[in-house]
């Protein structure tokens, strides 16, 4: 028995826990205290092959299972996730460091929502094809066929949500999956696999392997894999997309961003400040769609900053399980060092004006948290477009305020980035908000709100921020391939039928 609070974790292959053959382990760490939480077994090459073989073996029967029956199984899994919400959310809080006030209302809930959404969609005929009459005695039929074995690779910021946003449409469409969670947040994976099994998912349809990028790369390169759905950094996504492209595999890439949050001068100040805070400090700033470049009209900057400074007191560190805590630590020591380095660069090299926060630790770090990865929420102002902190994804609680003067100018500056994940506009004149948002180069956009990402809404980045989408009706087609059949009833095959 491991003395660690969350024991040992291993892979899940062919409907059961699988003892890894690599002999190698790694540790998952509690970001709030820097103490070890669990020991995880790394998958070997043989374990990876076994997981892909299990998924391959299960594919024929699962893809032939009537959609309504697949739908029932996914609904049962969603019900179990909801029934166990707080228990799973607490594990997510321990593993990621995110406050329970968030994980208990977002992470499991939005994952279960996606399961129900795709279960309903395929159960209601969402995979139906089409028949086109070409002439009296000929027609063609196009159907949507499952792809085969799909690989899901997750980031660490929304672990079980990412696992569900990938596996829900994948399994609903009749595919099977091998899922690799981030090595920083692996604890949810066995629980999810066991819930699927208890809900009636046949053995081999959903499998889990653990490990770092080497395990991910081996999965992507495996010749029996038909599709890769990846969530992570742009630089990793480029490698994954390249490797998938070599094997002509389908690929969905959910990557990073440096998204603009555009405040218009007629906005409701309170809502704009709340929105900008949501776009920078939720999940301690570790949200891919964060609006970290906050463009504020020069004439309202003083009022905006004053109200923002007053409200920064509402961003509260504390015991991560306490309902009043809404700021947890960052996920890992390596990420903590990276974010603090960006704050240092902002102060010393970019020479941006530090309005709030900085390199000090936040107040109210809970007892035992001295070695934890707590970063002070930070606001820089007077930022310019060329600053490092205004161009690179920091992925921590660091807001950059960029003053602007005209609408054309803000649109041009907002778009002058290689990334295009999200964007948002705050203003009372909705026509103007629409006009501005229409010109912003981003796949996920909000007007007068920030961050809500329901199962009904397709999400995916433009430019370097990704390929394809997750969620929403149309994303289902990214888990199927087209099959067309033309039927001729006239008995004639033209061209060579006669001399």
CB of 210 to ligand NAD, least distance (A): 10
Read off φ and ψ for residue 403, nearest 5 degrees: -70, 150
CB of 379 to ligand NAD, least distance (A): 20
Q: Under the criterion CB under 6 A, does residue 85 sit at the interface with ligand NAD?
A: no
Q: Under the criterion CB under 6 A, does residue 160 sit at the interface with ligand NAD?
A: no
Q: Under the criterion CB under 6 A, does residue 29 sit at the interface with ligand NAD?
A: no
Choices 95-103, 180-188, 269-277, 319-327 (CB under 6 A): range interacting with ligand NAD: 180-188
- Of 392-421, which residues contact ligand NAD (CB under 6 A)? 393, 395, 421
Question: Is the CB of 219 or the CB of 436 nearer to ligand NAD?
Answer: 219
Site string for ligand NAD, 280-299 (x = CB under 6 A): --------x-----------
- Of 187-246, which residues contact ligand NAD (CB under 6 A)? 212-213, 216-217, 220, 231-233, 236, 239-240
Out of 98, 150, 166, 383, the active site residue is 166
Cα 232 to Cα 153: distance, rounded to the nearest angstrom: 8
Q: Under the criterion CB under 6 A, does residue 183 sit at the interface with ligand NAD?
A: yes
What tokens were used for 430?
């909705």
Cα 31 to Cα 94: distance, rounded to the nearest angstrom: 7
Choices 35-43, 150-158, 300-308, 374-382 (CB under 6 A): range interacting with ligand NAD: 150-158
Q: Under the criterion CB under 6 A, does residue 343 sit at the interface with ligand NAD?
A: no
Q: Under the criterion CB under 6 A, does residue 256 sit at the interface with ligand NAD?
A: yes
Residue 140 catalytic? no
Q: Under the criterion CB under 6 A, does residue 358 sit at the interface with ligand NAD?
A: no
Please name the residues in contact with 79: beta carbons below 8 A apart, sequence gap of 6 or more.
none
End-to-end CA distance of the chain: 82
Question: Is the CB of 339 or the CB of 410 nearer to ligand NAD?
Answer: 339
Left if phi > 0, otherwise alpha if psi is -120 to 50, otherwise beta: which for 103?
Answer: alpha
Read off φ and ψ for residue 421, nearest 5 degrees: -80, -60
CB environment 273-292: b (16+ within 10 A), e (fewer): bbbbbbbbbbbbbbbbbbbb
CB of 458 to ligand NAD, least distance (A): 11
CB of 245 to ligand NAD, least distance (A): 13
The only residue of 15, 123, 152, 154 in contact with ligand NAD, by rule CB under 6 A: 154
Residue 254 catalytic? yes
Binding region for ligand NAD (CB under 6 A) = 153-157, 180, 182-183, 212-213, 216-217, 220, 231-233, 236, 239-240, 254-257, 288, 393, 395, 421, 461, 466
Report the catalytic residues.
166, 254, 288, 470
């Amino acid at each position: 028995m491991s003395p660690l609070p969350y024991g040992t974790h291993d892979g899940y292959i062919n409907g059961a826990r699988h003892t890894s053959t690599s002999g190698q382990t790694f540790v998952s760490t509690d970001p709030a205290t820097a103490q070890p939480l669990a020991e995880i077994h790394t998958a070997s090459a043989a374990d990876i092959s076994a997981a892909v073989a299990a998924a391959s073996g299960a594919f024929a029967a699962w893809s032939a299972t009537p959609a309504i029956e697949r739908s029932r199984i996914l609904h049962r899994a969603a019900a179990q996730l909801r029934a166990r919400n707080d228990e799973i959310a607490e594990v997510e809080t321990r593993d990621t460091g995110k406050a329970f006030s968030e994980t208990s209302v977002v992470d499991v809930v939005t994952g279960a929502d996606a399961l129900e959404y795709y279960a309903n969609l395929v159960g209601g005929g969402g995979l139906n094809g089409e028949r086109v009459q070409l002439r009296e005695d000929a027609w063609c039929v196009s159907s949507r066929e499952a792809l085969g074995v799909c690989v899901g690779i997750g980031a660490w910021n929304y672990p079980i949500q990412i696992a569900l946003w990938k596996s829900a449409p994948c399994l609903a469409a009749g595919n099977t999956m091998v899922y690799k969670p981030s090595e920083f947040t692996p604890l949810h994976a066995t629980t999810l696999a066991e819930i699927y099994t208890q809900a009636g998912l046949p053995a081999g349809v959903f499998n889990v392997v653990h490990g770092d990028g080497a395990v991910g790369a081996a999965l992507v390169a495996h010749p029996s894999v038909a599709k890769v759905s990846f969530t992570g950094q742009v630089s990793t996504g480029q490698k994954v997309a390249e490797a998938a492209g070599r094997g002509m595999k389908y690929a969905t890439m959910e990557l990073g961003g440096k998204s603009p949050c555009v405040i218009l001068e007629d906005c409701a100040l309170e809502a704009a400040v709340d929105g900008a805070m949501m776009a920078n400090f939720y999940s301690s700033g570790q949200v891919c769609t964060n609006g970290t470049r906050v463009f504020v009209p020069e004439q309202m900057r003083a009022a905006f900053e004053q109200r923002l400074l007053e409200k920064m007191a509402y961003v509260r560190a504390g015991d991560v399980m306490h309902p009043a805590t809404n700021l947890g630590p960052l996920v890992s020591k390596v990420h903590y060092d990276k974010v603090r380095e960006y704050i240092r660069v902002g102060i010393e090299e970019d020479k941006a004006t530090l309005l709030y926060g900085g390199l000090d630790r936040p107040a109210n770090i809970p007892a035992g948290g001295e070695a934890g990865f707590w970063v002070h929420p930070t606001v820089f102002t007077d930022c310019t477009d060329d600053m490092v902190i205004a161009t690179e994804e920091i992925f921590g609680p660091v807001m950059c305020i960029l003053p602007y003067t005209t609408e054309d100018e803000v649109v041009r500056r907002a778009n002058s980035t290689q990334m295009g994940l999200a964007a948002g506009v705050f203003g009372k004149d909705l026509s103007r908000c629409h006009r501005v948002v229409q010109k912003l180069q981003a796949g996920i956009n909000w007007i007068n709100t920030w961050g809500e990402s329901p199962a009904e809404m397709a999400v995916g980045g433009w430019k370097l921020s990704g390929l394809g989408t997750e969620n929403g009706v149309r994303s289902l087609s990214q888990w199927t391939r087209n099959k067309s059949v033309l039927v001729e009833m006239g008995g004639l095959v033209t061209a060579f039928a006669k001399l």
